[in-house]
Chains A and B, each alone.
Chain A
Amino acid sequence: MSHTQTPARAVAPRDAAPGRPAATARRRGSGRETLAGYLFLTPWCIGILLLTLGPMLVSLYLSFTSYNLFDSPKWVGLRNFQDMFADERWWKSVRVTSVFVLVATPIKLAVALGVALLLVRPRKGQAFYRSAFYAPSLIGASVSVGIVWRALFSQDAVVDQAGRLFGLHTDGWIGDPDWSMPTLVALSVWQFGAPMVIFLAGLKQVPRELYEAAEVDGASAWRRFRSITLPMISPVLFFNLLLEIIHSFQVFTSALVIAGPGGGQAGGPGGSLLVYTWYLYDQGFQQLRMGYASAMAWMLLLGIALVTAVLFRTQKLWVHYEEEGTGVR
Chain B
Amino acid sequence: MTTTLTASGRRNARSVAWHLGALALLAVVLYPVVWVIGASLKPGDQIIGSLQLLPGHPIAANYRRLTEGIADIPIYSFFVNSLFVALGSVIGVLFSCSLAAYAFARIRFAGRNLLFTLMIGTLLLPYHVLIIPQYVLFQKLGLINTYVPLLLGKYLAVDAFFVFLMVQFMRNLPRELDEAARLDGCGHLRIYWSIVLPLCRPALITSAIFTFIWSWNDFLGPLLYLNEPEKYTVSLGLKMFIDQDSIADYGGMVAMSLAALVPVLLFFLAFQRYLVEGAATSGLKG
Q: Which residues of A are interface residues toward B (Cβ below 8 A)?
A: 1-3, 5, 7, 10, 16-19, 22, 26-27, 30, 33-38, 40-44, 46-48, 50-52, 54-56, 58-59, 62, 69, 115, 118-119, 123, 125, 129-145, 147-149, 151-152, 154-158, 161, 190-191, 193-194, 197-198, 200-201, 239-240, 242-243, 246-247, 249-250, 252-253, 256-257, 260-261, 277, 280-281, 284-285, 290, 293-294, 297-298, 300-301, 304, 308
Residues of A within 8 A of B279 (CB): 134, 137, 194, 197-198
| Interface window among B2-10, B17-25, B63-71 | B17-25
CB contacts under 8 Å to A, within B25-45, are: 25-26, 29-30, 32-33, 35-36, 39
Set A33, A47, A58: member contacting B136, Cβ < 8 A: A58
Which residues of chain A have C-beta atoms less than 8 A from B115's C-beta?
A: 41
Residues of B within 8 A of A (CB): 15, 18-19, 21-22, 25-26, 29-30, 32-33, 35-36, 39, 47-49, 51, 95-96, 99-100, 102-105, 107-113, 115-120, 122, 124-137, 139, 152-153, 155-158, 163-164, 167-169, 171-172, 187-188, 192, 202-203, 213, 216-217, 219-220, 224, 234-235, 238-239, 242-243, 246, 250, 253-254, 257-258, 260-261, 264-265, 268, 272-273, 275-286
Contacts of A118 in B (CB 8 A): 18, 21-22, 25
Residues in A with CB closer than 8 Å to B220 are 252-253, 281
Ranked 10 nearest A-B pairs via Cβ: A37-B109, A47-B156, A137-B286, A55-B133, A40-B103, A44-B100, A58-B133, A144-B257, A34-B109, A44-B157
Cross-chain contact B283 with A297 (CB below 8 angstroms): no
Roughly how many angstroms separate A284 CA and B134 CA in the complex, as a whole number?
12
Q: A157-B49, A197-B279 are in contact. Are A280 and B286 (CB under 8 A)?
A: no
A10 shortest CB reach to chain B, Å: 6
B15 in complex: contacting residue of A2, A27, A123, A129, CB < 8 Å: A123
- Given A40-B100, A43-B96, A44-B163, A148 and B32 contact (CB-CB distance below 8 Å): yes
Query: Which residue of chain B is the closest to A52 with respect to CB atoms?
Result: B122
A293 contacts B124, C-beta separation under 8 Å: no
Asked if B283 contacts A198 (CB within 8 A), the reply is yes
Closest-by-CB residue of B relative to A242 is B124
Interface SS of chain A: helix
Most buried by A among B116, B164, B219: B219
> B253: which A residues are within 8 A, CB to CB?
147
- Expressed in whole angstroms, the minimum distance between the Cβ of A162 and any Cβ of chain B is 9
Q: Which residues of A contact B283 (CB under 8 A)?
A: 7, 10, 194, 198, 239-240, 243
